[in-house]
Amino acid sequence: MATTFTLIEAKTLSSNAATVSFTSIPATYTDLKMMALVRTTRSAVEENMYLYCNANDSGVGKFLYGQNSVVDSFSASDAIKLDVNGANATANSFSPVSFYICNYAKTTQPKNIGVFAGRETNTAADGRVWLNSALWADNAAVSTINMRLQFANFVSGCQFYLYGISNA
């Protein structure tokens, strides 16, 4: 069971940005946890955010999400995808995003990644929650984490926190 969370790096955007990256991640922890508050410049309620490791945006993902009373799932072979708030979402609201990478420093197995994200909209009828389970199909240790958007930029004020987790 995880016993120690250590902040590796914190980022608060002072201007809009197309990508956000954590580089030179030390291999001294068991797992990684990233938490963020995200909003984009896209003139829509939602925007697709992608997460990928070591500049490699291919992998195998299994995704489960809920919207209103509908639950759906799909598979994808590209970067890990989730929905976040666009510029037309509820004013000044940021999507909570959290992901957990198990055994990120091991070089003998692919990496399991669990993702949670929520999207708030201007109506109660269009909120969305993403619960993603992904397998990054690469045995390399994760030394870089990159996040990008499909259409727009992250807005100034987005916050990103990367933690290393040490097990007892």
Model pTM score: 0.88
Residue of higher predicted confidence among 145 and 119: 145
Interstrand relation of 31-38 and 70-78 (parallel, antiparallel or unpaired): unpaired
Give 155's pLDDT tier (boundaries 50, 70, 90): very high
Contacts with 97 (C-beta within 8 Å, 6 or more apart), sequence order: 34, 35, 36, 37, 38, 49, 82, 84, 115, 116, 117
The CATH number of 2-167 is: 2.60.120
Query: pLDDT at residue 104 above 60?
Result: yes
